[in-house]
Structure 1
Amino acid sequence: MADDFKVTDPRTLRAYAHPLRVRLIGLLRSEGPMTATRAAAALDDNVPNCSFHLRQLAKYGFAERVPGADARERPWRATARTTSWDDDSDDPAMRAATDQLNSVLLGVFTQRAQDYLATRADEPAEWRAAAGFGDMLVHVTAAELRELTEQIEALASRFDDRAADPAARPAGSRPIQLIQLAIPRGPVS
Protein backbone atom coordinates (compact mmCIF):
# COMPACT_ATOMS: atom_id res chain seq x y z
CA MET A 1 0.00 0.00 0.00
CA ALA A 2 1.30 3.44 -0.88
CA ASP A 3 1.77 5.95 1.90
CA ASP A 4 -0.34 8.74 0.35
CA PHE A 5 -2.70 9.17 -2.59
CA LYS A 6 -2.31 12.81 -3.62
CA VAL A 7 -5.37 13.99 -5.56
CA THR A 8 -4.79 16.88 -7.95
CA ASP A 9 -7.84 16.49 -10.17
CA PRO A 10 -11.21 18.04 -9.23
CA ARG A 11 -13.15 15.18 -10.81
CA THR A 12 -11.36 12.63 -8.61
CA LEU A 13 -11.96 14.77 -5.51
CA ARG A 14 -15.67 15.00 -6.33
CA ALA A 15 -15.78 11.22 -6.80
CA TYR A 16 -14.35 10.77 -3.30
CA ALA A 17 -16.70 13.38 -1.81
CA HIS A 18 -19.45 10.98 -0.75
CA PRO A 19 -20.05 10.05 2.90
CA LEU A 20 -20.16 6.29 2.26
CA ARG A 21 -17.03 6.38 0.10
CA VAL A 22 -15.10 8.27 2.77
CA ARG A 23 -16.31 5.77 5.39
CA LEU A 24 -15.46 2.78 3.16
CA ILE A 25 -11.90 3.95 2.60
CA GLY A 26 -11.54 4.66 6.32
CA LEU A 27 -12.78 1.14 7.07
CA LEU A 28 -10.39 -0.49 4.59
CA ARG A 29 -7.50 1.50 6.04
CA SER A 30 -8.31 0.69 9.65
CA GLU A 31 -9.52 -2.91 9.33
CA GLY A 32 -7.68 -4.12 6.24
CA PRO A 33 -9.02 -5.83 3.14
CA MET A 34 -12.63 -6.95 3.17
CA THR A 35 -15.51 -7.88 0.93
CA ALA A 36 -18.45 -5.61 0.19
CA THR A 37 -20.53 -7.93 2.39
CA ARG A 38 -18.26 -7.41 5.41
CA ALA A 39 -18.05 -3.68 4.74
CA ALA A 40 -21.84 -3.41 4.56
CA ALA A 41 -22.18 -5.19 7.90
CA ALA A 42 -19.52 -2.98 9.53
CA LEU A 43 -21.09 0.24 8.22
CA ASP A 44 -24.71 -0.80 8.68
CA ASP A 45 -25.43 -0.42 4.97
CA ASN A 46 -26.50 -2.80 2.22
CA VAL A 47 -24.21 -4.94 0.08
CA PRO A 48 -25.23 -3.60 -3.36
CA ASN A 49 -24.67 -0.01 -2.20
CA CYS A 50 -21.24 -0.79 -0.73
CA SER A 51 -20.31 -2.81 -3.81
CA PHE A 52 -21.25 0.08 -6.12
CA HIS A 53 -19.27 2.63 -4.10
CA LEU A 54 -16.24 0.33 -3.83
CA ARG A 55 -16.23 0.01 -7.62
CA GLN A 56 -16.40 3.81 -7.92
CA LEU A 57 -13.51 4.16 -5.47
CA ALA A 58 -11.53 1.68 -7.59
CA LYS A 59 -12.38 3.57 -10.77
CA TYR A 60 -10.67 6.68 -9.32
CA GLY A 61 -7.72 4.87 -7.72
CA PHE A 62 -8.71 4.89 -4.04
CA ALA A 63 -9.35 1.13 -3.74
CA GLU A 64 -8.49 -2.07 -5.59
CA ARG A 65 -9.26 -5.76 -5.52
CA VAL A 66 -6.88 -7.86 -3.46
CA PRO A 67 -4.63 -9.71 -5.93
CA GLY A 68 -5.02 -13.49 -5.95
CA ALA A 69 -8.46 -13.52 -4.32
CA ASP A 70 -10.70 -16.38 -5.43
CA ALA A 71 -13.85 -15.76 -7.46
CA ARG A 72 -16.17 -16.28 -4.47
CA GLU A 73 -14.41 -14.07 -1.94
CA ARG A 74 -13.51 -10.80 -3.64
CA PRO A 75 -12.05 -8.48 -1.01
CA TRP A 76 -11.12 -4.87 -1.57
CA ARG A 77 -8.25 -2.89 -0.10
CA ALA A 78 -7.29 0.76 0.06
CA THR A 79 -4.48 1.76 -2.29
CA ALA A 80 -2.88 4.21 0.18
CA ARG A 81 -2.73 4.86 3.93
CA THR A 82 -3.85 8.47 3.48
CA THR A 83 -5.46 10.75 0.92
CA SER A 84 -4.31 14.33 0.50
CA TRP A 85 -5.10 17.33 -1.67
CA ASP A 86 -4.16 20.99 -1.78
CA ASP A 87 -6.63 23.54 -0.53
CA ASP A 88 -4.82 26.51 -2.07
CA SER A 89 -5.70 26.20 -5.74
CA ASP A 90 -6.80 29.26 -7.71
CA ASP A 91 -8.71 27.00 -10.12
CA PRO A 92 -12.46 27.49 -9.44
CA ALA A 93 -13.24 23.82 -10.24
CA MET A 94 -10.58 22.61 -7.81
CA ARG A 95 -11.75 25.03 -5.10
CA ALA A 96 -15.34 23.84 -5.51
CA ALA A 97 -14.24 20.19 -5.35
CA THR A 98 -12.14 20.70 -2.21
CA ASP A 99 -15.00 22.60 -0.56
CA GLN A 100 -17.38 19.77 -1.44
CA LEU A 101 -15.02 17.13 -0.03
CA ASN A 102 -14.27 19.15 3.11
CA SER A 103 -18.01 19.54 3.69
CA VAL A 104 -18.52 15.77 3.40
CA LEU A 105 -15.60 15.14 5.77
CA LEU A 106 -17.05 17.57 8.30
CA GLY A 107 -20.34 15.69 8.18
CA VAL A 108 -18.63 12.31 8.63
CA PHE A 109 -16.52 13.62 11.53
CA THR A 110 -19.55 15.24 13.18
CA GLN A 111 -21.46 11.96 12.93
CA ARG A 112 -18.56 10.06 14.49
CA ALA A 113 -18.51 12.53 17.39
CA GLN A 114 -22.27 12.17 17.85
CA ASP A 115 -21.94 8.36 17.77
CA TYR A 116 -19.30 8.59 20.50
CA LEU A 117 -21.50 10.83 22.63
CA ALA A 118 -24.38 8.36 22.30
CA THR A 119 -22.25 5.58 23.83
CA ARG A 120 -19.92 7.64 26.02
CA ALA A 121 -21.71 6.64 29.24
CA ASP A 122 -20.72 3.00 28.55
CA GLU A 123 -17.02 3.87 28.31
CA PRO A 124 -14.68 3.16 31.24
CA ALA A 125 -13.92 6.24 33.34
CA GLU A 126 -10.28 6.32 32.20
CA TRP A 127 -11.38 6.58 28.55
CA ARG A 128 -14.06 9.19 29.31
CA ALA A 129 -11.38 11.28 31.02
CA ALA A 130 -8.86 10.86 28.18
CA ALA A 131 -11.21 11.49 25.23
CA GLY A 132 -13.32 14.54 24.63
CA PHE A 133 -13.77 17.90 23.09
CA GLY A 134 -12.05 21.24 23.41
CA ASP A 135 -10.92 24.24 21.50
CA MET A 136 -8.33 26.98 21.67
CA LEU A 137 -8.27 30.40 20.11
CA VAL A 138 -4.78 31.39 18.95
CA HIS A 139 -3.61 34.40 16.97
CA VAL A 140 -1.15 33.24 14.32
CA THR A 141 0.01 34.04 10.82
CA ALA A 142 -0.66 31.60 7.97
CA ALA A 143 2.98 30.44 8.18
CA GLU A 144 2.69 29.88 11.93
CA LEU A 145 -0.55 27.93 11.45
CA ARG A 146 1.15 25.69 8.88
CA GLU A 147 4.05 25.16 11.32
CA LEU A 148 1.63 24.36 14.15
CA THR A 149 -0.19 21.82 11.96
CA GLU A 150 3.10 20.18 11.01
CA GLN A 151 4.07 19.94 14.69
CA ILE A 152 0.74 18.30 15.58
CA GLU A 153 1.17 15.81 12.72
CA ALA A 154 4.73 15.06 13.88
CA LEU A 155 3.48 14.34 17.40
CA ALA A 156 0.85 11.91 16.11
CA SER A 157 3.26 10.26 13.65
CA ARG A 158 5.07 8.52 16.49
CA PHE A 159 2.17 6.04 16.49
CA ASP A 160 2.19 5.38 12.72
CA ASP A 161 3.73 1.92 12.97
CA ARG A 162 0.75 0.72 15.01
CA ALA A 163 -1.67 1.27 12.14
CA ALA A 164 -0.06 -1.37 9.94
CA ASP A 165 1.38 -3.69 12.61
CA PRO A 166 -1.03 -4.98 15.27
CA ALA A 167 1.94 -6.47 17.16
CA ALA A 168 3.23 -2.92 17.77
CA ARG A 169 0.04 -1.94 19.62
CA PRO A 170 0.38 -2.02 23.41
CA ALA A 171 -2.19 -3.90 25.47
CA GLY A 172 -5.23 -1.72 26.13
CA SER A 173 -4.72 0.51 23.10
CA ARG A 174 -7.67 1.44 20.89
CA PRO A 175 -7.99 3.19 17.55
CA ILE A 176 -8.53 6.90 18.19
CA GLN A 177 -9.36 9.43 15.53
CA LEU A 178 -7.81 12.85 16.00
CA ILE A 179 -9.82 15.36 14.00
CA GLN A 180 -8.16 18.63 13.09
CA LEU A 181 -10.07 21.78 12.30
CA ALA A 182 -8.04 24.94 11.88
CA ILE A 183 -10.66 27.53 11.00
CA PRO A 184 -9.92 31.25 10.71
CA ARG A 185 -12.32 33.46 12.65
CA GLY A 186 -12.83 37.00 11.52
CA PRO A 187 -11.15 38.98 8.75
CA VAL A 188 -7.43 39.20 8.02
CA SER A 189 -5.95 42.03 10.04
Structure 2
Amino acid sequence: MTLPRMKLTDPKALRGYAHPLRMALLGLLRQQGPMTATRAAEQLGESVASCSFHLRQLAKYGLAERAPGADARERPWRATARATSWDDDSDDPQVRAATDELNAAQLALYTRQAEEFLARRIDEPTEWRAVTGFSDQSLYVTAEELAELTGRIDALLAEYDDRITDPSRRPDGFRRVSLIQLAVLSASPGGGPAPAASANPVEATPAAEPDAAR
Protein backbone atom coordinates (compact mmCIF):
# COMPACT_ATOMS: atom_id res chain seq x y z
CA MET A 1 0.00 0.00 0.00
CA THR A 2 1.34 3.40 -1.03
CA LEU A 3 1.06 5.92 1.76
CA PRO A 4 -0.29 9.41 0.99
CA ARG A 5 1.52 12.68 1.50
CA MET A 6 0.49 14.84 4.45
CA LYS A 7 0.46 18.64 4.61
CA LEU A 8 0.54 20.25 8.05
CA THR A 9 -1.48 23.46 8.37
CA ASP A 10 -2.44 23.66 12.04
CA PRO A 11 0.02 25.63 14.22
CA LYS A 12 -0.22 23.03 17.02
CA ALA A 13 0.64 20.20 14.62
CA LEU A 14 3.48 22.21 13.10
CA ARG A 15 4.97 22.85 16.54
CA GLY A 16 4.29 19.26 17.56
CA TYR A 17 6.45 18.01 14.72
CA ALA A 18 9.22 20.55 15.38
CA HIS A 19 11.47 18.23 17.35
CA PRO A 20 14.62 16.51 15.99
CA LEU A 21 13.85 13.15 17.60
CA ARG A 22 10.29 13.13 16.29
CA MET A 23 11.58 13.87 12.81
CA ALA A 24 14.16 11.09 13.13
CA LEU A 25 11.57 8.63 14.45
CA LEU A 26 9.14 9.36 11.66
CA GLY A 27 11.87 9.03 9.08
CA LEU A 28 12.90 5.70 10.55
CA LEU A 29 9.34 4.38 10.31
CA ARG A 30 9.19 5.46 6.68
CA GLN A 31 12.51 3.89 5.85
CA GLN A 32 12.26 0.59 7.69
CA GLY A 33 8.53 0.13 8.24
CA PRO A 34 6.65 -0.57 11.46
CA MET A 35 8.76 -1.01 14.58
CA THR A 36 8.49 -0.86 18.34
CA ALA A 37 9.79 1.96 20.50
CA THR A 38 12.45 -0.45 21.74
CA ARG A 39 13.73 -1.12 18.23
CA ALA A 40 13.61 2.56 17.35
CA ALA A 41 15.62 3.38 20.47
CA GLU A 42 18.29 0.88 19.43
CA GLN A 43 18.48 2.39 15.94
CA LEU A 44 18.71 6.00 17.11
CA GLY A 45 20.72 5.57 20.29
CA GLU A 46 17.95 7.02 22.43
CA SER A 47 16.15 5.70 25.50
CA VAL A 48 13.04 3.56 25.09
CA ALA A 49 11.07 5.92 27.33
CA SER A 50 11.99 8.93 25.20
CA CYS A 51 11.10 7.17 21.95
CA SER A 52 7.80 5.95 23.40
CA PHE A 53 6.88 9.47 24.48
CA HIS A 54 7.71 11.07 21.14
CA LEU A 55 5.97 8.33 19.15
CA ARG A 56 2.84 9.05 21.15
CA GLN A 57 3.23 12.73 20.33
CA LEU A 58 3.53 11.90 16.63
CA ALA A 59 0.32 9.87 16.93
CA LYS A 60 -1.37 12.81 18.63
CA TYR A 61 -0.86 14.86 15.48
CA GLY A 62 -1.78 12.06 13.09
CA LEU A 63 1.77 11.39 11.90
CA ALA A 64 2.10 7.88 13.35
CA GLU A 65 -0.24 5.13 14.48
CA ARG A 66 -0.20 1.69 16.03
CA ALA A 67 0.39 -1.23 13.67
CA PRO A 68 -0.57 -4.90 14.12
CA GLY A 69 2.07 -6.76 16.12
CA ALA A 70 3.36 -10.32 15.95
CA ASP A 71 1.76 -11.00 19.32
CA ALA A 72 -0.12 -9.22 22.08
CA ARG A 73 3.08 -8.02 23.73
CA GLU A 74 4.57 -6.40 20.63
CA ARG A 75 3.13 -2.97 19.91
CA PRO A 76 4.85 -1.48 16.86
CA TRP A 77 4.28 1.93 15.34
CA ARG A 78 4.00 2.91 11.68
CA ALA A 79 3.99 6.15 9.71
CA THR A 80 0.69 7.40 8.33
CA ALA A 81 2.21 9.26 5.36
CA ARG A 82 5.24 8.84 3.10
CA ALA A 83 6.13 12.54 3.27
CA THR A 84 5.22 15.57 5.34
CA SER A 85 5.06 19.09 3.96
CA TRP A 86 3.97 22.56 5.00
CA ASP A 87 3.64 25.95 3.35
CA ASP A 88 5.80 28.96 4.15
CA ASP A 89 3.54 31.59 2.59
CA SER A 90 0.78 31.90 5.17
CA ASP A 91 -0.41 35.36 6.26
CA ASP A 92 -1.48 33.97 9.64
CA PRO A 93 1.14 35.11 12.20
CA GLN A 94 0.63 31.97 14.32
CA VAL A 95 1.18 29.70 11.33
CA ARG A 96 4.22 31.69 10.23
CA ALA A 97 5.77 31.48 13.70
CA ALA A 98 5.07 27.75 13.86
CA THR A 99 6.57 27.07 10.42
CA ASP A 100 9.67 29.10 11.34
CA GLU A 101 10.06 26.94 14.44
CA LEU A 102 9.65 23.78 12.39
CA ASN A 103 12.09 24.96 9.73
CA ALA A 104 14.67 25.70 12.44
CA ALA A 105 14.28 22.18 13.83
CA GLN A 106 14.60 20.75 10.34
CA LEU A 107 17.79 22.72 9.69
CA ALA A 108 19.27 21.54 13.01
CA LEU A 109 18.57 17.94 12.00
CA TYR A 110 20.19 18.43 8.60
CA THR A 111 23.25 19.96 10.26
CA ARG A 112 23.60 17.02 12.63
CA GLN A 113 23.31 14.56 9.75
CA ALA A 114 25.99 16.41 7.80
CA GLU A 115 28.34 16.50 10.79
CA GLU A 116 27.85 12.78 11.42
CA PHE A 117 28.57 12.04 7.78
CA LEU A 118 31.73 14.14 7.72
CA ALA A 119 32.99 12.31 10.81
CA ARG A 120 32.90 8.98 8.98
CA ARG A 121 33.42 10.10 5.38
CA ILE A 122 37.13 9.29 5.46
CA ASP A 123 36.28 5.60 5.82
CA GLU A 124 33.95 5.55 2.82
CA PRO A 125 35.09 4.08 -0.53
CA THR A 126 36.74 6.50 -2.95
CA GLU A 127 33.86 6.24 -5.43
CA TRP A 128 31.42 7.51 -2.81
CA ARG A 129 33.71 10.21 -1.43
CA ALA A 130 34.00 11.56 -4.97
CA VAL A 131 30.26 12.13 -5.36
CA THR A 132 29.23 13.22 -1.87
CA GLY A 133 29.82 16.44 0.00
CA PHE A 134 28.53 19.99 -0.15
CA SER A 135 28.38 22.70 -2.78
CA ASP A 136 26.68 26.01 -3.36
CA GLN A 137 25.97 28.32 -6.26
CA SER A 138 24.51 31.81 -6.48
CA LEU A 139 21.53 32.32 -8.77
CA TYR A 140 19.94 35.59 -9.90
CA VAL A 141 16.31 34.65 -10.44
CA THR A 142 12.78 35.82 -9.82
CA ALA A 143 10.48 34.07 -7.36
CA GLU A 144 8.62 32.55 -10.33
CA GLU A 145 11.85 31.25 -11.87
CA LEU A 146 12.96 29.71 -8.58
CA ALA A 147 9.58 27.99 -8.21
CA GLU A 148 9.90 26.61 -11.73
CA LEU A 149 13.46 25.41 -11.07
CA THR A 150 12.40 23.71 -7.85
CA GLY A 151 9.60 21.96 -9.71
CA ARG A 152 12.06 20.64 -12.28
CA ILE A 153 14.34 19.34 -9.53
CA ASP A 154 11.39 17.66 -7.80
CA ALA A 155 10.34 16.01 -11.06
CA LEU A 156 13.86 14.68 -11.61
CA LEU A 157 14.06 13.23 -8.10
CA ALA A 158 10.58 11.69 -8.49
CA GLU A 159 12.06 9.33 -11.09
CA TYR A 160 13.58 7.41 -8.17
CA ASP A 161 10.46 7.29 -6.00
CA ASP A 162 9.64 3.68 -6.87
CA ARG A 163 12.87 2.57 -5.19
CA ILE A 164 11.60 3.93 -1.88
CA THR A 165 8.54 1.71 -1.74
CA ASP A 166 9.83 -1.25 -3.78
CA PRO A 167 13.25 -2.54 -2.65
CA SER A 168 13.41 -4.85 -5.68
CA ARG A 169 13.85 -1.76 -7.87
CA ARG A 170 17.11 -0.81 -6.17
CA PRO A 171 20.18 -1.63 -8.31
CA ASP A 172 23.24 -3.55 -7.20
CA GLY A 173 25.68 -1.39 -5.28
CA PHE A 174 23.08 1.10 -4.13
CA ARG A 175 23.45 3.23 -1.02
CA ARG A 176 20.81 5.35 0.63
CA VAL A 177 21.56 9.04 -0.02
CA SER A 178 19.77 12.11 1.31
CA LEU A 179 19.79 15.16 -0.96
CA ILE A 180 19.24 18.25 1.16
CA GLN A 181 17.94 21.26 -0.74
CA LEU A 182 18.32 24.77 0.66
CA ALA A 183 17.19 27.94 -1.09
CA VAL A 184 18.51 30.91 0.90
CA LEU A 185 17.94 34.54 -0.07
CA SER A 186 20.70 37.13 0.14
CA ALA A 187 20.31 39.75 2.86
CA SER A 188 19.45 42.52 0.37
CA PRO A 189 17.49 42.46 -2.90
CA GLY A 190 20.61 43.43 -4.80
CA GLY A 191 22.55 40.44 -3.52
CA GLY A 192 26.10 40.31 -2.27
CA PRO A 193 29.28 38.62 -3.40
CA ALA A 194 28.90 34.94 -4.15
CA PRO A 195 30.34 32.64 -1.48
CA ALA A 196 33.16 30.35 -2.47
CA ALA A 197 31.75 27.03 -3.65
CA SER A 198 33.35 23.70 -2.92
CA ALA A 199 34.73 21.56 -5.70
CA ASN A 200 32.31 18.76 -4.92
CA PRO A 201 29.53 18.66 -7.53
CA VAL A 202 26.94 16.79 -5.48
CA GLU A 203 25.23 17.84 -2.28
CA ALA A 204 24.45 14.59 -0.49
CA THR A 205 24.59 13.13 2.98
CA PRO A 206 23.75 9.55 3.88
CA ALA A 207 21.28 10.09 6.69
CA ALA A 208 19.85 8.03 9.49
CA GLU A 209 16.31 8.89 8.50
CA PRO A 210 14.63 9.51 5.14
CA ASP A 211 12.48 12.40 4.08
CA ALA A 212 12.23 13.58 7.63
CA ALA A 213 10.20 16.58 6.82
CA ARG A 214 9.32 16.98 3.21
Normalised to the residue count of structure 2, the TM-score between the two structures is: 0.86
Give CA deviations for 1:104-161 in whole Å, capped at 9, x if unaligned: 0000000000000000011000000011110010001011111111111111111100
Q: Determine the C-alpha separation between the residues in 1 that align with 2:142 and 2:70.
A: 51
The DSSP-based 3-state class of the residue aligned with 1:83 is strand
Structure 1's consecutive aligned runs of 4 or more residues displaced over 4 angstroms after TM superposition are: none
5+ unaligned residues in a row in structure 2: which ranges? 191-214
Q: Which of the pair has the greater relative contact order for Cα pairs under 8 Å at 6+ separation?
A: 2
- Give 1:68 shift: 5.6
- Give 1:72 shift: 1.1
The DSSP-based 3-state class of the residue aligned with 1:2 is coil
Is the Cα–Cα contact under 8 Å of residues 36 and 76 in structure 1 kept in the other structure?
yes
Q: Determine the C-alpha separation between the residues in 2 that align with 1:150 and 1:69.
A: 42
Normalised to the residue count of structure 1, the TM-score between the two structures is: 0.97
The DSSP-based 3-state class of the residue aligned with 1:57 is helix
Q: Determine the C-alpha separation between the residues in 2 that align with 1:188 and 1:11.
A: 33
Is the Cα–Cα contact under 8 Å of residues 69 and 75 in structure 1 kept in the other structure?
no
Cα distance change of structure 1 residues 74 and 91 upon mapping to structure 2, 3 Å threshold:
same
Q: Normalized per residue, which structure has more helix?
A: 1
Q: Determine the C-alpha separation between the residues in 2 that align with 1:145 and 1:67.
A: 44
- Give 1:71 shift: 2.1
Give CA deviations for 1:79-114 in whole Å, capped at 9, x if unaligned: 001001110001110000000000000000000000
Q: What does residue 23 of structure 1 align with?
A: 24
Q: Which amino acid aligns with 2:81?
A: A
Q: Determine the C-alpha separation between the residues in 1 that align with 2:139 and 2:114.
A: 23
Q: Which amino acid aligns with 1:107?
A: A
Q: What does residue 174 of structure 1 align with?
A: 175
Q: Determine the C-alpha separation between the residues in 1 that align with 2:121 and 2:185.
A: 30
Q: What does residue 135 of structure 2 align with?
A: 134
Give CA deviations for 1:51-73 in whole Å, capped at 9, x if unaligned: 01001100110001113653211
Asked if 1:153 is matched to 2:154, the reply is yes
Q: What does residue 10 of structure 2 align with?
A: 9
User: Number of paired residues?
Assistant: 189
Q: Determine the C-alpha separation between the residues in 2 that align with 1:99 and 1:71.
A: 41
- Give 1:175 shift: 1.0
Q: Which amino acid aligns with 1:66?
A: A
Q: Which amino acid aligns with 1:97?
A: A
- Give 1:33 shift: 1.0
The percent of aligned pairs where both chains have the same amino acid is 61
